A and B are shown apart, each in its own frame.
Chain A
Amino acid sequence: MFRPAAVEDSIVHIQSLSKIYFVNQQEAGAKATVHGIFRRKKTPVQAVDEISFNMAPGEIVGFLGPNGAGKTTTLKMLSGLLYPTSGTVTVLGHIPWKREKTFLRQITLVMGQRNQLVWDIPAIHSFELNRVIYRIPPDDYQSILKELTDLLELGPLLTKPVRNLSLGERMKCEIAAALLHRPQVVFLDEPTIGLDVTMQRRIRSFIAEYNKRFGATVLMTSHYMADVEALCKRVVVIHHGRLLFDGELALLLQRFTSHKTIIIQLSECQADLKVYGEVLACEDGRYTLRVPKAETARITERLLADLPVVDLLVEDPPIEEVIDRAFTEWNK
């Protein structure tokens, strides 16, 4: 059973953290646009709403939630980029937004959608820059560079201009650049976004290895269920800025997966399958049905007996759906 880390031995400690943004609203239409130049309507948006959780040393925690849930905002507060509206955070005993150098030397932030490597030149130059910025002693630098090069298979990539690398190759270099100073706390915001399955797997196993080798504490967001399943025993789920769940991933799936998806291939979309379950879609005779988990076996059996089924597939609902469901449950 999952036990939350005690405050005193936790690396990351978050208590009642909130962030409210004031967003400029821009309305459509010429008149509204002209008006908007002079006076803008500021609307408060509660991005993070009273969330609390702790992380133990060496833990990898999956930070889940749909787009706009407040994950990136939270990561930015944890890495010192944003001031919270209220609440307290300590990471390695520091208050992140004070941005003390001793704190910044021990953490890193990787954002899958943003690059820090200089575009026109080989990544090794950007590495060199980070070496000086983080004041990494030459010997340490050589050994960590070699280690990262081996683990991520960077070899020939380091001397090619970054703009000539594929997305996956670039991401590997980005991750290496962010880890040269051997941070103890690693914040990963969608590190595998847009990568193909092979590259996702490579990055995933690297994160696991880095965590094991250096005992680093990792908080990562991802929309890919496979990332979360492979790396995170524990997940924290937020939605509309509020914490929905904090505990073992298995428990989350078990609790909120009340349905399964059955996909069957028929010759065309003529049949009426409502009696078997909720029809989510049909395309070229390929039906997607949502059925209660407990009845999956019985309904599958009936489908096969009643219909000329060419192909049949039973799937767990995607993580997004599970989270969505968790949120609906929470609201009740």
Chain B
Amino acid sequence: MNYLRLIGVFFRVNIAGELAYRINFLFSFFESVMGLGFTLAGMAIIFSYTDSLNGWRPEEILALVGVYSLIGGVIRVAILPGMQQLTESVRDGTFDFTLTKPEDAQLIATFSRVAVWKIIDIFLGLVILIIALARMGSVIGGVQAVEFLGMLLTGSVIVYSFFLILATLAFWLVRVENILTIFLSVYHAGRWPLSLYPGWLRYGLIFVIPVAFATTIPVEALTSRLNWVTLLAAFIAAAVLFIVSRAFWKFGLRHYSGASA
């Protein structure tokens, strides 16, 4: 309960911080709209030549773009800023203050910085998703909806855990901002269905940098492509990765406490 209250206060504090730079909201808005615009334009060009891309219809790809924008928003609002702040605070020593607090350090590190304006990505993602669903015309059943939400959740957990592992490397390497940015670049690959990519890349996007869980797989749930094996695998992957990332974080903390000056 206190966790939720704490997360709430972190959001309030960050909103107050962002309100100090209101104009930044405009830039943020244009950045989001332009990014999405280019993605949609690319899609439109491709579908002007063909009706189906490896079995994916335009509105299904549109749904994928919606999910891509939605999860991208979650990353930019609630995951990336906290992780960047973490690596910064390890470097300048203010992480010490996090450690003297009687609250879980991972919780504080994750939510102390949220980029509120980027909520626009989540909003745009939802709008596109709704348009895509309307165009599909098919009725989304209760089971499908639950599967979809479940896959969105597992996808987010997997991406978060992966980011946490990367950011935890800061306890040894100190400067890891670039690793975080690389992940974001790979995330761009999630704009297209996984099945379009050659085999090695497909495996890479599942097992090495697990972007597919956050984009293609939720849409597969929505378009009745998901089989229960993938569903189960996603849940297990999320649980395992979350536990592993937390263990690695704790290991990193011990190293930090043993070595920091």
B108 to chain A, nearest CB (A): 7
- Tell me, in angstroms, the Cα distance from A129 to B17 when the chains sit together: 13
Is A81 a contact partner of B260 (Cβ separation < 8 A)? yes
B96 at the interface (CB under 8 A from A): yes
What number of B residues sit within 8 Å (CB to CB) of A? 28
- Tell me, in angstroms, the Cα distance from A99 to B102 when the chains sit together: 8
Is B6 a contact partner of A132 (Cβ separation < 8 A)? yes
Which of B10, B21, B97, B258 sits near A83, CB closer than 8 Å?
B258
B205 to chain A, nearest CB (A): 30
Stretch binding the partner chain, chosen from A26-34, A110-118, A194-202, A284-292? A110-118
Is A133 a contact partner of B103 (Cβ separation < 8 A)? yes
A104 at the interface (CB under 8 A from B): yes
Decide yes or no: A114 and B6 within 8 Å by CB, A108-B100, A126-B13, A128-B13 being known contacts.
Answer: no
Taking chain B's interface residues, is the majority helix, strand, or loop, or is none over half, making it mixed?
helix
- Tell me, in angstroms, the Cα distance from A101 to B92 when the chains sit together: 25
B225 at the interface (CB under 8 A from A): no
Question: Residue-by-residue, is A91-126 near B (CB-CB < 8 Å gives 1, otherwise 0)?
Answer: 000000101011111011101001110101110011
B134 at the interface (CB under 8 A from A): no
Decide yes or no: A83 and B102 within 8 Å by CB, A116-B97, A121-B16 being known contacts.
Answer: no
Is A120 a contact partner of B17 (Cβ separation < 8 A)? yes
B230 at the interface (CB under 8 A from A): no
- Tell me, in angstroms, the Cα distance from A122 to B13 when the chains sit together: 10
Is B13 a contact partner of A114 (Cβ separation < 8 A)? no
Is A81 a contact partner of B100 (Cβ separation < 8 A)? yes
Point out the residues of chain A lying under 8 angstroms from B13, CB to CB. 118, 121, 125-126, 128-129
Which of B96, B99, B101, B259 sits near A114, CB closer than 8 Å?
B96
Is B100 a contact partner of A79 (Cβ separation < 8 A)? yes
Point out the residues of chain B lying under 8 angstroms from A103, CB to CB. 102
- Tell me, in angstroms, the Cα distance from A114 to B103 when the chains sit together: 20
- Tell me, in angstroms, the Cα distance from A103 to B92 when the chains sit together: 25
Is B108 a contact partner of A133 (Cβ separation < 8 A)? yes
What residue in chain B is nearest A96 (Cβ atoms)? B100
Is A80 a contact partner of B99 (Cβ separation < 8 A)? yes
- Tell me, in angstroms, the Cα distance from A161 to B17 when the chains sit together: 9
B134 to chain A, nearest CB (A): 41
- Tell me, in angstroms, the Cα distance from A97 to B9 when the chains sit together: 28
A82 at the interface (CB under 8 A from B): yes
Is A114 a contact partner of B100 (Cβ separation < 8 A)? no
Q: Enumerate A32-89 residues with CB–CB distance to B below 8 Å.
A: 73, 76, 79-83
Which of A23, A80, A126 sits near B100, CB closer than 8 Å?
A80
Decide yes or no: A101 and B20 within 8 Å by CB, A83-B258, A121-B13, A132-B2 being known contacts.
Answer: no
B261 at the interface (CB under 8 A from A): yes
B28 at the interface (CB under 8 A from A): no
What residue in chain B is nearest A23 (Cβ atoms)? B261
B257 at the interface (CB under 8 A from A): yes
What residue in chain B is nearest A161 (Cβ atoms)? B20
A134 at the interface (CB under 8 A from B): yes
Point out the residues of chain B lying under 8 angstroms from A135, CB to CB. 2
Question: Residue-by-residue, is B14-27 near A (CB-CB < 8 Å gives 1, otherwise 0)?
Answer: 00110011000000
A77 to chain B, nearest CB (A): 9
Is B102 a contact partner of A81 (Cβ separation < 8 A)? no
Which of B9, B92, B99, B254 sits near A129, CB closer than 8 Å?
B9
Decide yes or no: A115 and B101 within 8 Å by CB, A120-B20, A121-B16 being known contacts.
Answer: no
Decide yes or no: A133 and B6 within 8 Å by CB, A82-B258, A97-B257, A105-B102 being known contacts.
Answer: yes
Is B20 a contact partner of A121 (Cβ separation < 8 A)? yes
- Tell me, in angstroms, the Cα distance from A79 to B102 when the chains sit together: 12
Give me 8 A-to-B residue pairs in the complex whose CB atoms sit less than 8 angstroms apart, sorted by A's number.
Answer: A76-B260, A81-B99, A81-B260, A83-B254, A114-B92, A114-B96, A114-B97, A115-B94
Kindly list the 10 A-B residue pairs having the minimum CB-CB distance in the complex, ordered from nearest: A104-B102, A101-B102, A116-B97, A120-B17, A105-B102, A121-B16, A125-B13, A121-B17, A120-B20, A132-B9
